Amino acid sequence: MKSSFPIFLAVFVALGASFGGFVVGGISQLGTEKQTTVLNSTDTYPLQRTGDATLGLQVYRAQGCAACHTTQVRQDGMTCDVVLMGAGKNLRAVQKVLGEIAPADKDLATNQLPKTIFSGVTKEVAGDNSDKLTGAGAKAEIHINATGADISRGWGIRQSVAEDFLWDYPVQLGSLRAGPDLANVGARYTMNLQLQHLYAPQSVDKNSAMPPFKYLFVVRKKINGELSPDALSLPKGIVPDDSEVIPTDDAKNLAAYLVSLRADVPLYDAPFTPTVSAPAEKK
């Protein structure tokens, strides 16, 4: 071939196809995304992060935290539980159905309710059995649980979805887990623990490989031997007894951002049934 123009054109089309697909397609589908509503609720999600947390995302970006941490939880699938909430008016009929589908619970008494009849079953099995129970006049609910290694590890309740990152710039998904996933770290650590962890990671987790971010803190002598209101309450031995550690604004904002990382509401894309009791704080 002697003329190079057709080549340029063909090369442009071949290369440009991926631009059309991923960039133009991606923007038209995801770039116009809007807030969504929380499943079985009228609450909108996600809310804007607070001011300090929004600033904290910039500290997160500047320190390059995403080099070691992801903020995306993966999910393998889901399982369902069937929970009998009430026996209705005809306990006999319900017990009869239970005798067929779950013989172990056939002598169920109303004071035992609510009771999980099936756990860890597929959507179809749960649907069939719950239909049978409601057919007998009982009140049955299907509870959905997300499954996967990340979720069993306690890194999240459900998978991360596009909506979780709606307000963030830059979106810091991360690509390596040299450290744990942070998608739901706000539910695990309190503000104080976050600050302590940033100042001296090994004081929170002995084997942590995370570098301390001491440059985000100021160490100074205590005034009249008293801790300032802003100072971190650290375990003994990290700083001399007559010194205190004051977080800079950057440290406070970063901790506020980390605390704001909570992907813990059910969405249409990522359903689950929230547990009523509040999750216990770690340590």
Partner 1 sequence: MNVNENKISVSEIDASCRVPLLALFGGAALWLVIGLALSIVASLTFHKPDMFANCAWLTYGRVQPAANDLILYGFCIPAALGVMLWIFARLSQIPIVLPLLPIVAANIWHLGVVVGTLVILSGNSTGFLWLEYGRGAFVLLLCAFFLFAISAFATFGARHHRELHVSHWFLIAALLWFPWIYAAANFFLVICPVRGVAQAVIDWWFANNLIFVWLALVGIGAAFYFLPKFAGRPLHNHYLALFAFWTLIIFGTWCGIPQGAPVPAWLPAASTVASALLIIPLIAIAKISVKTVYGANTQCKGGPFCYIKFGTAAFILSSLMLIAQACPHFSRVVGFTWFGPAQTQFQLLGFFAIVILGGFYELMLRVMGCELPYPKFVRVQHWLFIAGLVLLVGSLAVAGIVQGMKLENPKIAFDDVSSATLIAFRFSTTGQLLLLLGSFLFAANIFVMTARWKFGLLKSGWKALNAPLQASEVKS
Q: Interface residues for partner 1 in 52-71 (CB under 8 A)?
A: 61-68, 70
Judged by CB under 8 A, which of 40, 109, 135, 153 binds partner 1?
153
d(CA 115, CA 204): 38
Stretch binding partner 1 (CB under 8 A), from 93-101, 124-132, 138-146, 162-170: 162-170
Instruction: Say if CB 190 and CB 198 are below 8 A apart.
Output: no
- Indicate the residue among 80 and 198 with the shorter CB distance to partner 1: 198
159: left (phi over 0), alpha (psi -120 to 50) or beta: beta
d(CA 116, CA 136): 17
Cβ neighbours of 54 (radius 10 Å): 17
The verdict on 9 binding partner 1 (CB under 8 A) reads no
Footprint on residues 168-187 left by partner 1 (CB under 8 A): 168-180
The verdict on 209 binding partner 1 (CB under 8 A) reads yes
Q: Which of 184, 114, 119 is nearest to 145 (CA)?
A: 119
The verdict on 283 binding partner 1 (CB under 8 A) reads no
The verdict on 120 binding partner 1 (CB under 8 A) reads no
Q: Which residue has the tokens 């570098």?
A: 211
- Indicate the residue among 76 and 107 with the shorter CB distance to partner 1: 76
The verdict on 247 binding partner 1 (CB under 8 A) reads no
Tell me phi and psi for residue 218, to 5 degrees.
-115, 130
Footprint on residues 72-91 left by partner 1 (CB under 8 A): 72, 74
- Indicate the residue among 113 and 166 with the shorter CB distance to partner 1: 166
The verdict on 202 binding partner 1 (CB under 8 A) reads yes
The verdict on 271 binding partner 1 (CB under 8 A) reads no
The verdict on 201 binding partner 1 (CB under 8 A) reads yes
The verdict on 149 binding partner 1 (CB under 8 A) reads yes
What is the secondary structure of 26-65 as a DSSP string? Answer: HHHHHTT---EE-TTS--EESPPPPHHHHHHHHHHHHTTG
d(CA 186, CA 281): 10
Footprint on residues 29-48 left by partner 1 (CB under 8 A): 29-33
The verdict on 152 binding partner 1 (CB under 8 A) reads yes
